[in-house]
């Protein structure tokens, strides 16, 4: 089970990436920062895998990376801490005790 109501209150995100992708590297940094503030579980999926191809085709993602929650596209391309902060807050994702900012 995923989403804010999951047993451990972590939102499961699927991060679709490609090899040698600088935007994907940047996104990993953004997700690590957000992981310090929110209860997140990030699962990375290769763009060329069956699941990766299915997700990007359904959401019409033109280029990686793509970030999904429950199959819904949250962001793609260069990930933004500010934009994802807003998305996560709107989804009601629990802040972690380490947030303290």
Is residue 11 within 8 Å of residue 61, measured between CB atoms?
A: no
C-beta separation of 74 from 13 below 8 A: yes
For 20: left if phi > 0, alpha if psi spans -120 to 50, otherwise beta; the answer is left
Two tokens, residue 20: 């040698």
This prediction's pTM: 0.85
- pLDDT at position 1, please? 36
CA nearest to 44, candidates 10, 23, 65, 14: 14
CATH number of the domain located at residue range(s) 11-91 in this protein:
3.40.30.10
pLDDT in tens, 60-86: 999 999 999 999 999 999 999 999 999
Q: In the chain, where are the structural domains located?
A: 11-91
Listed in sequence order, the residues at least 6 apart from 92 whose beta carbon sits closer than 8 Å to its beta carbon are 4
């Amino acid at each position: 089970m995923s989403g804010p109501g999951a047993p451990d209150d972590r939102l499961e995100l699927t991060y679709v990436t490609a090899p040698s992708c600088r935007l994907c590297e940047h996104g990993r940094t953004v997700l690590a920062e957000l992981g310090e503030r929110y209860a997140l579980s990030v699962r990375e999926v290769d763009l060329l895998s069956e699941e990766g191809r299915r997700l990007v085709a359904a959401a019409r993602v033109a280029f990686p990376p793509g970030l999904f929650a429950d199959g819904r596209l949250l962001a793609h391309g260069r990930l933004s801490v500010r934009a994802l902060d807003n998305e996560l807050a709107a989804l009601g994702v629990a802040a972690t005790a380490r947030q303290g900012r």
